[in-house]
Structure 1
């Protein structure tokens, strides 16, 4: 029986099919290797077994699907329902799976070399051997996971997943390095933006986690609202600058409100205005933003910086029987931004200023420093 491909007298088809299979194999290898590198870089873990072969087969299958839809054939003019196309498809998918499986360990080695990631296989019997040789140490998180003051609370699902979780870490690390490695792992593996771990006698004494506030609400001044409008932003305006919102038309031009620009994108802008001015805007009207001649405010810039760093801002109240009563501001953890005392606000107080009863002091610093030195509880912390 003559091979179907040869029935068509197509030595050229065999040559074309071979070239295409080589190209598909290279494409599958590149995709599997690239995804492995990205996965290792993002998670510091190897791509799960079998994923490389899946990526290789998926790459070949996607290319074949596009060829059938666009041209109605896989090789030259050979119909896709022909026996030769079936042989070509099986060969291509098999080749994709093989090169994808090879691309996974190759990509993992490349990622470890490029990004300086230590490759350590520690599963089942190997893990027990490493622990017995004191190469690995198992760190178990406490059953109670709390919220970090100054951050938005993490979800209950995340805290339940963290409670009692075990992490295998190198035993050669010092306690500070162990804490840093553990906090990094928790932030990378769980849905949190900050983790604070404290150790006691070599074991995890407490763990607090939190998420950064991403909404506008907590950063708006009192009695103001954020409004989205159709507008032409001023060319020299940047987020945080004071702007005037003008309504322009064929008959009249009038000033609608004054506020501050928070964000702009093409024909849309978000401005912060007084609460009473929010009702003046019409969703169907297009406005023009003008930057007045005044010094731009740094409030938005400071808020943006605080939202992107580990430091957070909290407000602590001082009671009559509090241990903070009479404490120097310079001895507090972090930096004191202001003290609210009766009807007076002391901005950037001197280090020698002492705290009095009923004071509210606003601090910026690391949550771990607040927890360690202030022993802050919900009863003492005021919402900011």
Structure 2
């Protein structure tokens, strides 16, 4: 039985909405993915063909479920339903394409979806940093010698602060690196819970003086008047009655060990310094200079200027501006060029060495090492292309 025109139009709108929901969702998804991932827009005609095909499948399934629909469907109903399906499909496609164009590439970090992060309500957060508290005793690592009691206490009492927007896995890695660097540990294992509490296991280096010497150097100890504030790695000139020898401080001790110390304890800062006075220094020198220093009982130690550390100053300026420097290794499917990476690439590893500030069209390769600078949010997006 034929319906009147208004009834046929209303019935066509109903059928168009019912059968056009799935084509609209498919059109939105394809429009967004193609624009966001590939950077191209799907032609509208192709979207219409796909939408009408899916609507036809939905209409056929609807007719199987309710055979009366076929008997009550006429030309005005079909035309109206097709128009509704096409409008829904084109509108959904345009919205998906617009969202894909507006959303910056890399803003959706798929790998970060399953990463654990600290609980902002439970952890001690100070601005953009979180305080990591070492809970319980610092454990030993099987197969390594035990840590000294002073080192265990210093690790527990140090105020560890890291970026609050990092996932827990990255916080564990960075805290382990800092402990290994500041306390000369050979191996460090860190476990952090969502409250910012850390369980630490660490082991000391298996070698002491020998690992701080360059190839071809020898370590020689001499008695001397030790300058105040001498630190391992300082460049010095050791002056004897006969000649002078240049070297690098490997270790130093000042003050009389037999006299009780009345000075207040100095908080651990990660770099032990001398307090000045009579003491003994160990200097890394060449083999020929080592023989000459062994012939004297006492020498004068003069510290040479190393100049200003421009690298440290640069990192300080970047940190004050809210930027960080990160070392990354690209995964198996990296972007084509440096311009496609988030952040600014400071250096890129090549077969011939390192390329400083590579050009925007510098090609990238799998497993390539890079140094990248950017804000914490920008560096977080590197997780999509780094391993």
TM-score of the superposition, structure 1-length normalised? 0.34
Q: Greater relative contact order (Cα 8 A, min sep 6): structure 1 or 2?
A: 2
Which protein is bigger by CA-based radius of gyration?
2
